[in-house]
């Protein structure tokens, strides 16, 4: 229709095609996603003005041609055409989409010397750019220059912090927003619930849910799904299921959130019960669904169900992601099918990451494949993948079970000196176990006294077991007294001490 109108105008007479009509045609083609024709019309405008360029820049940004938007912005400067707040807002958005923080800062600097007084519209554009590009300090400074009742500004900050490594600040901003009298909207609530999910702060999640109910927000599938996800991540599965069951409408994301909650908290049977209900209710499982059910199969140790999920992924011709490939390897490894785990591992399409390697290393470690696990750990480094804390937990466990004291010590030192990892309590416990099994009780005792953590129930048990094995009654009695003081509710310490 737009083209026919354009053709009719052209047939009537080119004299009609003045700047006003040409600008309208550029805008029409831009909104219809025909940038080639928009640019062609723009090139014929004899007297381009700020409005002409604003339309072109906005159309280019809307159609993903962010470089073209920036180029047009620079042409304005060369041609001496004034730029206004709308020009700057669209160009700042283009810089954000390109993830070009340096260019965004340069545009911001140009705005400051232009004499244009930024209003809330322009400040929000700047705030959004800095927040999304991770420059939260600059975003915070702009935020504090704005009125406190601007819900969009609050939303930008809360969303940015919830997606950063500081989700606690998202909660802090949320509660400040409420205290200042600004009513949250759905975007606020969804971002805040995401922060709660990251932090696993159930009390905050319940308080937000109570607020949602108290303020009478209408039921919304996205918000309700965020609640299901939050309760699931916080381990409150009954609350998650209550929200799920009360939802008047669900989508596939809702089903995935509830299945994930069950799968990640050891309730694999309930995850499979939901899976059985999905398709009769019109929801076909997608890759995320089946990946969560592979996790559920691990919880249950049910190889047959895990194989069925793997087969379904293949039968439905779903495009594998790295996460899915890792889940397949992990399922076979955890279910004890090491040959199939190795086949899946060797046949991975995506480059293997630390999670891939950890899955196959842990699977072998847990199923008695000490030699294979240790060799895989070496292969991992040769493959250019740096081991993490989980990798070292697995290899130290292998060394402990295999009585490889010197090799275990070497790994323990390597994690600090070669990979700059800080040993956790679990790593120290493995080293205590290694020393104890080797009869080096004095060294184990010294390690327990100088390590930066409490030895933990597992560490004390390992040491007491070593005292019993090596008939060291004196050290065993001392360790038993320490265990009773530290862990009075753990009966195993009493049993082990009495058997020394």
Please identify every stretch of the chain with a pLDDT value under 70, giving residue numbers as ranges.
6, 8-17, 473, 476-500
Task: Give per-residue pLDDT as tens, 400-447.
Answer: 888 888 999 999 999 999 999 999 988 988 888 888 888 888 888 888
Predicted pLDDT of residue 148 = 83
**Does residue 159 share a domain with residue 194?**
yes
Q: What is the pLDDT of residue 100?
A: 96
267 lies in some domain:
yes
Is the same domain home to 229 and 321?
no
User: In terms of domains, do 255 and 226 share one?
Assistant: no
Same domain, 223 and 257: no
Domain endpoint, select from 243, 261, 287: 243
Task: Specify if 157 maps to a domain.
Answer: yes
Residues 310 and 234 in one domain: no
For residue 274, what are its two tokens? 């939901």
C-alpha distances in angstroms, 137 versus 92, 130, 131, 142, 188? 17, 8, 9, 9, 20
Q: What is the pLDDT of residues 174-210, one digit of tens each?
A: 999 999 999 999 999 999 999 999 999 999 999 999 9
Residues 233 and 261 in one domain: no
Contact, 400 vs 434, CB < 8 A?
Answer: yes
In a domain, 136, yes or no: no
Q: Which of 308, 332, 350 is the last residue of a domain?
A: 350
Dist CA 197 CA 229 (whole Å): 7
Domain count, the chain: 2
Tell me: the pLDDT tens digits for 320-377?
A: 999 999 999 999 999 999 999 999 999 999 999 999 999 999 999 988 888 999 999 9
Count the Cβ atoms, other than its own, within 10 Å of residue 459: 25
Q: Is 318 within a domain? A: yes
| Contact criterion met (CB below 8 Å) for 231 and 264 | no
The domain in which residue 200 lies consists of: 148-243
Whether residue 207 sits in one domain with residue 258: no
Both 334 and 270 in one domain: the answer is yes
Structural domain contains residue 123: no
> Are 222 and 266 part of one and the same domain?
no
Average pLDDT, the chain: 89
Quick check: is 176 in a domain? yes
Residue 302 placed within a domain: yes
Question: Do residues 264 and 173 share a domain?
Answer: no
Q: Are residues 235 and 270 in the same domain?
A: no
C-alpha span between 196 and 168 (Å, rounded): 8
The domain boundary, picked from 320, 350, 380, lies at 350
Residue 341 belongs to domain with CATH number = 1.25.40
In a domain, 60, yes or no: no
Q: Closest Cα to residue 85, out of 60, 56, 107, 59?
A: 107
Clarify whether residues 208 and 239 are in a common domain: yes
Q: Chain-centre distance of CA 162, in angstroms?
A: 10
């Amino acid at each position: 229709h737009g083209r026919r109108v354009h053709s009719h105008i052209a047939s009537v007479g080119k004299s009609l095609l003045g700047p006003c009509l040409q600008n309208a045609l550029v805008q029409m083609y831009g909104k219809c996603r025909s940038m080639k024709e928009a640019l062609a019309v723009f090139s014929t405008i004899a007297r381009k003005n700020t409005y002409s360029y604003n339309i072109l820049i906005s159309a280019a940004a809307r159609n993903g041609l962010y470089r073209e938007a920036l180029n047009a912005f620079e042409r304005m400067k060369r041609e001496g055409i004034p730029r206004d707040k709308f020009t700057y807002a669209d160009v700042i958005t283009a810089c954000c989409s390109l993830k070009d923080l340096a260019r965004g800062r340069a545009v911001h600097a140009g705005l400051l010397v232009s004499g244009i007084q930024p209003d809330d519209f322009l400040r929000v554009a700047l705030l959004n750019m800095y927040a999304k590009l991770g420059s939260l300090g600059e975003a915070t400074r702009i935020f504090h220059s704005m009125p406190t009742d601007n819900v969009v500004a609050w939303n930008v900050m809360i969303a940015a912090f919830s997606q950063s490594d500081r989700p606690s600040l998202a909660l802090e901003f949320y509660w400040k927003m409420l205290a200042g009298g600004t009513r949250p909207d759905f975007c606020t609530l969804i971002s805040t619930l995401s922060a709660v999910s990251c932090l696993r702060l159930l009390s905050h999640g319940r308080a937000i849910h109570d607020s949602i109910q108290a303020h009478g927000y209408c039921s919304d599938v996205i918000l309700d799904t965020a609640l299901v996800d939050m309760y699931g991540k916080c381990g409150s599965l009954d609350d998650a299921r209550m929200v799920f069951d009360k939802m008047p409408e669900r989508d596939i994301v809702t089903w995935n959130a509830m299945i994930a909650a069950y799968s990640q908290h050891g309730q694999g049977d309930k995850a499979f019960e939901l899976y059985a209900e999905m398709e009769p209710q019109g929801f076909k499982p997608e890759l995320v669904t089946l990946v969560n059910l592979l996790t559920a199969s691990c919880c249950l140790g049910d190889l047959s169900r895990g194989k069925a999920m793997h087969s379904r992924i293949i039968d439905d011709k779903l495009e594998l992601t790295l996460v899915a490939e890792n889940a397949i390897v992990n399922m076979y490894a955890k279910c004890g099918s090491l040959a199939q785990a190795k086949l899946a591992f060797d046949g991975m399409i995506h480059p293997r990451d630390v999670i891939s390697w950890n899955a196959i290393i842990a699977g072998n470690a847990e199923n008695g494949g000490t030699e294979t696990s240790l060799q895989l750990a070496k292969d991992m480094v040769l493959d250019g993948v740096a081991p993490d804390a989980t990798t070292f937990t697995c290899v130290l466990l292998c060394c402990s079970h295999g009585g490889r004291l010197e090799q275990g010590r070497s790994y323990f030192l390597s994690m600090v000196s070669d990979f700059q990892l800080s040993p956790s309590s679990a790593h120290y416990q493995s080293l205590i176990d290694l020393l104890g099994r080797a009869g080096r009780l004095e060294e184990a005792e010294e390690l327990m006294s100088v390590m930066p953590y409490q030895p933990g129930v597992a560490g004390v048990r390992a040491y007491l077991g070593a005292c019993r094995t090596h008939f060291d009654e004196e050290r065993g009695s001392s360790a038993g007294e320490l265990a009773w003081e530290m862990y009075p509710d753990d009966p195993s310490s009493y049993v082990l001490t009495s058997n020394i």
